[in-house]
Structure 1
Amino acid sequence: MNITEHNQNGLVYLTADGFDAAGGVAHGFSTRRGGVSEGIFATLNLSMNRGDDPDRVRENYRRFCAAIGVDVGKIVCASQVHGDTVRTVTAADLGIGLDEGEPWKADGLITDIPGVVLTIFTADCLPILLYDPVRRVVGAVHSGWRGTALGIAAKAVERMVDCYGCDRMDILAAIGPGISKCCFETHEDVPNAMTEAMGAAALSAIEVLPTGKFHVDLKALNAKRLESAGLDPAHIAVSPDCTCCMPEKYWSHRATHGERGSQAAMIALTV
């Protein structure tokens, strides 16, 4: 599977070829191009809580949702806390406005309800979308280094299996744009967390630098997590784009020192 870029009247977004080929799902990873926000939020900011004009953010949502073919009124998101909670989204979770506080904390969402738009937000952390076209279940995961160490992507797969009866070999995964190994320079706490959680399997994704710091490949680690959870490696697509390397195209917390908007990744079963 590959990740493909689209440009719809200046609005740039990405999709996973395998999801599109399977059909029955609408999804997309946003960039920062194609919106109406200004200043440090220029242009496609999809964060309601970083100080941008709410009307501009709503218009950005309208444009992005129209481009990927989902209903902006059926978005469900959570308060992301870099944990490993995966929530099953039911009909009772619908109707929470974008500018209202999310009622629960979670970094993963799964559902089998058509039309529900699972949404997670990133600006260096990894957005991961999951789709089982056989059982018709979708998932959206926010995975920073803490979530990677906790194995949230694999836990989302386990929840899809346990709650909806998915077969692991049917599940497709797409790891979207995020900070790549080239820019994710860390102290020893991050590689230590990975090796503690994953053992020797983590070592190939960790590089020791001459400075004594480390480069850590979160995309490779999450792909390993998904493979360990039983996914076919051929069913895992990984975006090569590094948000920190490409601040003109993506929001990067590290590149902007926190003065930024947010990307969103969305997925919904088509009705």
Structure 2
Amino acid sequence: MSFSENNAGSLVYMTSSLLGTAHAFTTRLGGVSRGIYAALNLGQNLGDEPRDVLKNYGILADALGFDPARLVFSRQVHKPDVRLVTGADCQAPYTPVPYEADGLVTAEKDVPLIIFTADCVPILLFDPVGCAIGAAHAGWRGTTQDIAGNAVLAMVRHFGSRPENIRAAIGPCISLCCYETGDDVAEAARRLLGGAAAPYLVPKGEKFMVDLKGINAFLLERAGLRRENIDVSPECTSCLSSKYWSHRATHGARGSQASVIMLKGNMN
């Protein structure tokens, strides 16, 4: 299992060999946005020109084979809630989303699930046996409230997925090398994991370097996934801020990546 860089014209996106369905972890490369949003910004509420963002969605849609006007978004609020969605939830970009959720699951085909990150952890899930998918946005708050485990549980509850069949890809995000935090993050991890949190918290004076990728991989395994079914990107969005949007590296003057996954059927 491994992550690969893919090119479609000037578009650059990452995929995991472990996920056997249409998906992508986008980079900031290959779009038409300008200024601080150059070039592939997919965030809709950051100040970018909507016409450019819509063109960026079209570029991504052409590469992956989905309808850019039929996407499932959510209002991400750094909580552990996971929502069951269907084709009825599909909408075009810039349409107000009527619900809050940091995780989405579906078993319907041609329903692309979209989450946004710019240092937070994107997690894509695929059950090839039960034919279901999920996507989760895990900032440190979502991570320490176990949104990863909640997403697995939602697939079990709604679709009868067996955790040992589920495959997960943890995409590019801020890594241990760059994620320096105060004790609040470390304490939240300890409340969730107890002594098992120690390997993921490296003291640095009065602060900590925190391994969010490692914590989420641990939580997925604790939820029943096999370790060999968990793929973790080695790339750090902060280290590679010329390739990825990084909130920390840009001090908030940025666009957003999108992570998308879809069960592909016959497109009309």
What SS does structure 2 have at the residue aligned with 1:204? helix
Aligned to 2:68: 72
Query: Residues of 2 paired with 1:198 and 1:91: CA distance?
Result: 36
1:51-88 superposed Cα distances (whole Å, 9 cap, x missing partner)? 10111101111111211222212210100000011000
State the secondary structure of the residue aligned to 2:173. Answer: coil
SS at match of 2:177: coil
Residue number in structure 1 paired with 2:191:
196
Q: Return the alpha-carbon distance in structure 2 between the equivalents of residues 11 and 251 of structure 1.
A: 15
Matches within 5 A, 1:4-19: 4-19=4-19
- 1:178 maps to 173
Partner of 2:102: 107
Structure-1 separation of matches of 2:146 and 2:66: 29
Partner residue in 2 for 1:267? 261
Aligned residue in 1 for 2:40: 44
**Which structure 2 residue ranges, 5 or more long, are not aligned?**
none
Is residue 2 of structure 1 aligned with residue 2 of structure 2?
A: yes
CA contact (8 A) 1:26 1:70 kept: no
Aligned to 1:31: 27
Structure 1 position 18, deviation (Å):
1.5
Is the CA contact (8 Å cut-off) linking 2:78 and 2:102 kept in structure 1? yes
Distance 2:137 2:29 in 1: 21
Contact 1:30-1:265 at 8 Å conserved across structures: yes
2:69 is the alignment partner of 1:62? no
Pick aligned residue for 1:256 from 243, 250, 257: 250
User: Runs of 4 or more off by more than 2 Å in structure 1?
Assistant: 68-71
Counterparts of 2:199 and 2:153 in 1: how far apart (Å)? 25
Q: CA deviation at 1:91?
A: 3.1
Alignment check: 8 A CA contact 1:180 1:243 kept: yes
Shift of 1:142: 0.1
Counterpart in the other structure of 1:241 = 235
Percent identity of equivalent pairs: 50
- The residue correspondences of 1:107-126 to structure 2 (distance < 5 A) are 107-126=102-121
Looking at structure 1, the residues matched to 234 and 35 of structure 2 have their Cα atoms a distance apart, in angstroms, of 27
Contact 1:143 / 1:153 at 8 angstroms: preserved in 2?
yes
Corresponding residue SS for 2:258: strand
Give the conservation status (yes or no) of the 8 Å contact 2:70–2:92: no
1:126-185: per-residue Cα shift (whole Å, max 9, x none)? 110000011100001000100010000110000100111001111000000000011100
CA distance in 2, matches of 1:16, 1:68: 14
1:237 is displaced (CA, Å) by: 0.5
Compute the RMSD of aligned alpha carbons. 0.9
Paired AA for residue 140 in structure 1: A
Match of 1:150 among 145, 161, 172: 145
Is the 2:68–2:92 Cα contact (8 Å) retained in structure 1? Answer: no
TM-score by length of 1: 0.96
Deviation at 1:97, TM superposition (A): 2.4
